[in-house]
Amino acid sequence: MKKVHQLVVATIGSPVGLKGEVNLNLQTDQPENRLQVGCSFLNGLKIRSSRKQVNKKGTRWIIGFEGLSKREDVELRKGEELLIEVNSDEDTDTEFFFADLVGLKVLQNGQNIGKVVSIIEGPAQDLLEIEIDLGSKSMGKSTNKSTGKKVLVPFVRQIVPIVDIENDFLEITPPDGLFDID
């Protein structure tokens, strides 16, 4: 069975030049596929020009949109998310979207210790930001009230071996000391 998701491809950044082009703040690992001339987004924008620019500061994508031909036009759209709809197979247990992870319960040895509040994309690996519950092992009993404390957990198979979107949880096996919060 297919499930439809909205995926943030990028956020519109600062204007480049005077002809209505912008820098994009990427949110996708497939810019070559998702930023081709002619691609459309849910907000009605359609790409008229696309180029990848590499320099000593890194790689950036400069995009022009149909109907936005002046710097002033794109300045008004700065910060806007470029969304697309994508399909995924619910039966696939190894693929999911980051948006699916936010809000999942976090289990350790079968006990609820918190919930995923965000995903931080990193250069080496992504990180799960987990808000710890009072019920975590360092607090003694399970009350499921947030402590307000957050920890970052590397999102790698050795530490997060189970992600069960259908049952609303993920299981972690953190190294010693990861949850020592004082």
d(CA 48, CA 127): 34
Given a cut of 80, whether residue 107 has pLDDT beyond it is yes
- The class level of CATH for 98-171 reads mainly beta
Q: What percent of the chain is predicted at pLDDT more than 70?
A: 83
Look at residue 142 in the predicted model and tell me its pLDDT.
Answer: 43
Given a cut of 60, whether residue 171 has pLDDT beyond it is yes
Given a cut of 50, whether residue 177 has pLDDT beyond it is yes
Comparison of pLDDT for 76 and 32, the residue scoring more: 76
DSSP-assigned states of every residue in 6-65: EEEEEEEEEEETTTTEEEEEE--S-HHHHS-TT-B-TTS-BEEEEEEEEETTEEEEEEEE
Given a cut of 90, whether residue 6 has pLDDT beyond it is no
The reply to whether CATH 2.40.50.100 applies to domain 2-89 is no
pLDDT tens, 109-164?
A: 999 999 999 988 777 788 899 999 865 444 344 445 566 789 999 988 899 999 98
pLDDT tens, 59-87?
A: 788 999 999 999 999 999 999 999 988 77
Given a cut of 50, whether residue 40 has pLDDT beyond it is yes
The domains of the chain are located at 2-89, 98-171
d(CA 5, CA 99): 9
Look at residue 89 in the predicted model and tell me its pLDDT.
Answer: 55
Given a cut of 90, whether residue 38 has pLDDT beyond it is yes
Given a cut of 90, whether residue 88 has pLDDT beyond it is no
